[in-house]
Amino acid sequence: MKYHPSAAYVGPIFLSLLALCLVLPVVADDRGESKLDPSQPQGVTVDEIIQKFAAKEKQFKVAREQYTYTQDVTIQTLEGNTVDGQYHQVSDILFDDSGKRIEQVTFAPQSSLERVIMTQSDYDDIRHRLPFVLTSDEIGKYQILYVGKQKEDELGTYVFDIAPKQIEHGERYFQGRIWVDDHDFQIVKTYGETVPQVHNAKHPEKENLSPKYTTWREQIDGKYWFPTYTYAQDTLHFSNEEVEMRYIVKYKNYKRYGAKSRITYEGQEISKGDPQQPSGTTPTTPKQ
């Protein structure tokens, strides 16, 4: 998100290294959360948990690409309790006749945002990074720190703080906290931000900031934990002005594409009878 006075977008600046210590304050919505228990897991090692959930995330990523769904995005600027600007777009994520993934916009009134400008990074974040996925192909890019156990409503979870080991030029990453179901080893909630956050007091037109957000997942078709709701309310500290932002993103109407389609993972079909399929309850999400 860029401050309004300049409409020319400049991509994220290069940072060779990110400090490996995790300093992101955890202030995620704690509705339904128990007190954090810092004790070590029993009967399984931390590394085994990481490997298990990363493998499940890879399976989840493959599966979600075979589903259609509706994405409802609302982005607002706030002055106190008053909404003084809004972007709203509803899209159906579908497949065309050849099976190619497409996005079909169904509702898009003119944006009334005046104090900020949405950049390509913002659109990419909404589509790819707010519903954060950490697969076995990507865990090598991150420092992953076990911080304890915590109840999310009826779910027992392992809690990890994560941050990129280094930031490559032109790439964006997640930094924050994840909650992993302690039975099925799938991520059920994330809280954090997309990095790098680009500050530049000398050239405010080059700044590119985004809010901290929470994404909740729910179990779809009795087996996959797909993102269903993202919420953010945060103040972006631009050099020229502080702007309070609110994001509300809903992912709904998940439907598996094609009655006869198959989902495969590493050459094997993922069927509903897969003995590794997850089971469990759904963590409470805020009222939508």
Concatenating the DSSP letter of every residue in 233-287 gives EEEEE-SS-EEEEEEEEEEEEEEES-TT---EETTEE--TT-TT----PPPP---
Q: What is the pLDDT of residue 26?
A: 46
For residues 58-74, average pLDDT: 96
Within a domain: residue 247? yes
The answer to whether residue 22 is domain-embedded is no
pTM passes above 0.85: no
Query: How many Cα neighbours within 13 Å face the side chain of 264?
Result: 6
For residue 155, is it within any domain?
Answer: yes
Burial 88-103 (b: 16+ CB within 10 A, else e): bbbbebebeeeeeeee
Integer Cα distance of 217 and 237 in angstroms: 29
Q: What is the mean pLDDT of residues 220-231?
A: 95
As a whole-number percent, the residues of the chain with pLDDT over 70 amount to: 79
Number of domains forming the structure of the chain: 1
CA distance linking residue 252 with residue 150, whole number of Å: 27
Asked whether the predicted pLDDT for residue 158 surpasses 90, the reply is yes
- The answer to whether residue 277 is domain-embedded is no
Phi, psi of 118 (to 5 degrees): -75, 135
Residue 89 lies in a domain: yes
Condensed to tens digits (0 to 9), the pLDDT of residues 23-44 reads 444 444 555 689 999 999 999 9
Q: Residue 232 sits in which domain range?
A: 2-7+33-269
